[in-house]
Structure 1
């Protein structure tokens, strides 16, 4: 049974009721599905629809029974009056987690992303990249069965990107599913099992790289397929 099944006929906001339409797909355990498309294509709107954050939606967003998901936003969201460690404690309290190894896992993640020495500092005192690392850490600590990730690489340094990708790979080995929106096509090509290509609020192609190559009649990279399919949809 899929972890997440999406059947969005159309969805949008008060001023634009049909910002996106025709979004039909599912995600299996351990699968990483990449959402790609130009700025303003509707990627973030689709993610907000899944999260229940749009004004109007005709369709269905169905999570498998008991599925816990974690959202990693493009723009870090935090409480300016709380330190990094206080955010970690808050997540434990809000999720009523009784994990005896919670603090050990938190320290391991802080060390991985080189934030251990800054754990008692405020996020606002650091760069967006460091704030984004905090978002990743908080998401991982909740032990979700599904990650919904919106442009995670923006602001991250190369070492942090590598560490994040290794972390995602380890999560996938546990059966965790990932839906990830990204503009970094060369990285997406290496790590994603399938792709959803969105343009002008519509899904214009979906499938594996081989399937996109067949659809675009281009025997090339994900970027080559992306540009060809975009031209076909214009």
Structure 2
């Protein structure tokens, strides 16, 4: 996926994003980090096609949404911050519906569903209505639906909210498996100490602009603070006035 010169927001006269450019390569996990209001969710909404950009271009698998909307959307999956489920559908029905939408074969669906229900310890909840699940379990269902599809790009927004420590570990381990198969992951999270050891690169967004991006070492060099952990680098960048 590539984002080039993207400007956009909710109002034409007051863009939230200011000519941001970055890419996520196959087999790579990139952490999108910033304060609330920095533009992380707005960036994701533009990639998902929920907002129209004012300037710039977004390509997934080499195609823009305008060139081929079906191929564009079929190449990505989204895990939102707040779980959005059909109240009167079971966990199993959510997974089956998602698999059919992405053209996953029955045999492959069953194999993936079994793996995911075991990984997230949801075996005994597969036939429960989503209305009867806790928020953490609902979040697990959203994650399982995204992972049963296996597209080339995952957009994941604050996935750790509501998950217990074992759920967080299972999610991170599975994202590493996805990377190994060549999938790309754009991950937004405030839990910097957790994602520091899992992401290949980081994008620091502040006031709608990218103020640093690269590997942990490259971000440290841009912050002028070599050797510091990601959380301290983030604070140094934000407080250093680099957001201009």
Same fold (TM over 0.5): yes
Equivalent residue for 1:18, pick from 15, 18, 41: 15
Cα contact 1:8–1:57 (8 A) shared by 2: no
Q: TM-score, normalised by structure 2?
A: 0.89
2:230 pairs with 1:222 = yes
Cα distance in structure 2, aligned partners of 1:16 and 1:124 = 41
What is the root-mean-square deviation of aligned Cα atoms in Å? Answer: 1.6
Q: In 1, Cα distance between the equivalents of 2:123 and 2:5?
A: 42
1:34 aligns with 2:13: no
Would you say how many aligned residue pairs link Structure 1 and Structure 2? 231
Alignment of 1:1-234 (within 5 A): 4-14=1-11, 17-65=14-62, 68-219=75-226, 220-232=228-240, 233=242
Which structure has more strand as a fraction of its residues? 1
Deviation at 1:90, TM superposition (A): 1.1
| Aligned-residue offset at 1:15 | 7.4
Q: Distance in 2 between matches of 1:43 and 1:181?
A: 7
Task: Answer whether contact 2:19 2:55 (CA < 8 A) is retained.
Answer: no
1:16, distance to aligned residue in structure 2 (A): 6.3
Q: Following TM superposition, where does structure 1 have runs of at least 4 consecutive aligned residues deviating by more than 2 angstroms?
A: 14-17, 92-99
Q: Displacement, 1:98?
A: 2.2
Is there any run of 5+ residues in structure 1 with no aligned partner, and where? none
TM-score (norm 1): 0.93
Aligned equivalent of 2:68: none
Q: What is the DSSP-based 3-state SS (H/G/I as helix, E as strand, rest coil) of the residue aligned with 2:166?
A: helix
CA deviation digits over 1:26-82, x for unaligned, max 9? 111111100001111110110001111114431100112467111111111111111
Instruction: Measure how far apart 1:201 and its partner are.
Output: 1.3
The 1:212–1:92 alpha-carbon spacing in structure 2 relative to 1, beyond 3 Å, is closer
Q: Which runs of 5+ in 2 are unaligned?
A: 63-70
SS, match of residue 41 in structure 1: coil
